Structure 1
Amino acid sequence: MPSQHRESSARRAVAHPVRSLLTALGFLSIIPITTRDGDERGEFAAALFYFPLVGLLLGGLAAVFFLVLQPILPPLVVGALLAVLLSLLSGFIHLDGLADSADGFFSGTPRERCLEIMRDSRIGVMGSAAICSLLVIKVAALASIDGGQMIVALLVAATGGRVGIVCMMALLPYARSGSGLGLLFYGGATRQAAVVSILLLAVLVLVSAGHRFMPIFTAAAALLLLLAALCRKKIGGATGDTLGATCEMMEATILIVFSMTL
């Protein structure tokens, strides 16, 4: 992507913050959003800068849900409902990406065939196992988090998941040749977007859970580097599916950190 287009996406994000935020919200959530017609590629590229804010909003909605359920349900049931809600708020697109990525990566096939498997709408054994495993981990982590820390955990986890998407896009090129939904955002996959996203997450963690800053960022960085290396080896880059998988796994990782006694 030419540097001029990369810079224009950053300028557009600053010049049209509401439009860019709504574009990001409409794509990353089930909240129905209508935006004005325009340069679709440019709108999506600028929206990338607002992914962390969308995560913060979705985490806030989950926190409200927690406040309603906590007084009347046991922790395990609340954890299960929150785990489902976190994926539901995004229309299950990230969970679907996790399943597709697992099917492709564990197929043991060459790159092109792996990408074909990932594009298949059917979910295989590995995809089903990945979904079940991730949900079990999230439920266990959520049920183990102290009630006084739950709201912060939900906010940080949901925000961190979307920051993970931005960082992965900055780390890896797009793996498919000129097609795919994830390509729409790659005009804004710049160091600027990644830096802004990381800074927003850092401020959120420092303000709300400063003593967990190092564990969260160490675990998040390790996960990102591991996933980036795996994606590069298997398919030579990232796709919309692997970005969704990154979001789900980042959320789970951060929730695990919050479940730890520190």
Structure 2
Amino acid sequence: MGVSALAALSGAIGFLTRLPAGRDADAWDAFAATPAAFLPVGYLVGGVAAAALLVPAPDPAQAFLYLATIYGVTGINHVDGVADLGDAAVVHGDPERRREVLKDTTVGVGAVLAVALVVAGLALAALALAGLPWPIAVGIVVAAEVGAKLGMAALACLGAAPHDGLGSQFTATNGAGSLVVPALLAAPAVALTWPNAAATGALAGALVATAAVLHWSTRALGGVGGDAFGATNELGRLGGLYGGLLAWSLLPEVILWTPS
């Protein structure tokens, strides 16, 4: 791995977690130009969070430990994106008016509701995961986190920022072709629950959430800014967990095609 790749990974760790790494300008610049750096952090955070579900404790306690671990490792910066988009979603007006709300430091009812729904959704998903066989639960958690990071990479490669800021630092230096490597890095997550389709469902759920954020942000805000990236991380994780749970319940095993 080259120096620039190591710097990009360090920058990704600094941006996506609370770990003491990648806080300098060189690491940030390398990360902003390397969407693939999102993915290793997804595996890292997913693995740490999944460990909470291996603690010998009642299901509610495991669910609480999962929540505490997620936000202990990643912090709450990305939750702020959910809050800001929640406030913007309840505003009537054009994209410029909604972008003004994103800059307002006052927390509105839209923000409170959006954050409450996300946290409650994570808690309920974790409670359901705690009751599953541990290899499936761990696979879903890791795949959901990887899917969320793939979603952020997709925003960097496919989105357009409405103004200069955090979002533009990603979108200005990346294009659709830059999404190939992140997608390849995410692909191994499918095997985490094989032959069950739960991990596949987790990746799919995260990407559905990403598509929703990208579509809404482009239409309602005129593009993807830093808040859209934060919201994609949180909603991608949430969509991934429920996508994995649905796949576990509806598709017990992947049907392998064999020639007749």
TM-score (norm 1): 0.83
Structure 1 CA distance for aligned equivalents of residues 28 and 208 of structure 2: 34
Q: Which residue of 2 aligns with 1:204?
A: 189
1:107 aligns with 2:61: no
Cα gap change, 1:205/1:96 in structure 2, threshold over 3 Å: closer, same or farther?
same
Task: Kindly state the Cα deviation for residue 35 of structure 1 after the two structures are TM-superposed.
Answer: 6.1
Letter in 2 for 1:125: V
1:85 aligns with 2:72: no
Structure 2 CA distance for aligned equivalents of residues 100 and 159 of structure 1: 24
Q: Which residue of 2 aligns with 1:10?
A: none
Q: Which residue of 1 aligns with 2:224?
A: 238
Q: Higher relative CO (CA 8 A, sep ≥ 6), structure 1 or 2?
A: 1
Instruction: Indicate which of 109, 112, 134 corresponds to 1:125.
Output: 109
Cα gap change, 1:112/1:31 in structure 2, threshold over 3 Å: closer, same or farther?
same
Structure 1 CA distance for aligned equivalents of residues 60 and 36 of structure 2: 35
Q: Which residue of 2 aligns with 1:154?
A: 141
Q: Which residue of 1 aligns with 2:157?
A: 170
Instruction: Indicate which of 38, 43, 58 corresponds to 1:51.
Output: 38
Task: Kindly state the Cα deviation for residue 248 of structure 1 after the two structures are TM-superposed.
Answer: 0.8
Q: Which residue of 2 aligns with 1:94?
A: 78
Is the partner of 1:16 in helix, strand or coil?
Answer: helix
Task: Kindly state the Cα deviation for residue 93 of structure 1 after the two structures are TM-superposed.
Answer: 1.3
Task: Kindly state the Cα deviation for residue 217 of structure 1 after the two structures are TM-superposed.
Answer: 4.7
Is the partner of 1:66 in helix, strand or coil?
Answer: helix
Task: Kindly state the Cα deviation for residue 47 of structure 1 after the two structures are TM-superposed.
Answer: 4.2
Q: Which residue of 2 aligns with 1:256?
A: 242
Is the partner of 1:31 in helix, strand or coil?
Answer: coil
Q: Which moved more, 1:135-144 or 1:117-126?
A: 117-126
Runs of 4+ aligned structure 1 residues displaced above 3 Å come to 34-41, 207-211, 213-222
- 2:202 and 2:242 in contact (8 A); partners too: no
| Equivalent residue pairs, number | 244
Q: Which residue of 2 aligns with 1:24?
A: 12
Task: Kindly state the Cα deviation for residue 114 of structure 1 after the two structures are TM-superposed.
Answer: 0.9
How well do the aligned residues superpose, as a CA RMSD in angstroms?
Answer: 2.3
Task: Kindly state the Cα deviation for residue 225 of structure 1 after the two structures are TM-superposed.
Answer: 2.7
Is the partner of 1:104 in helix, strand or coil?
Answer: helix
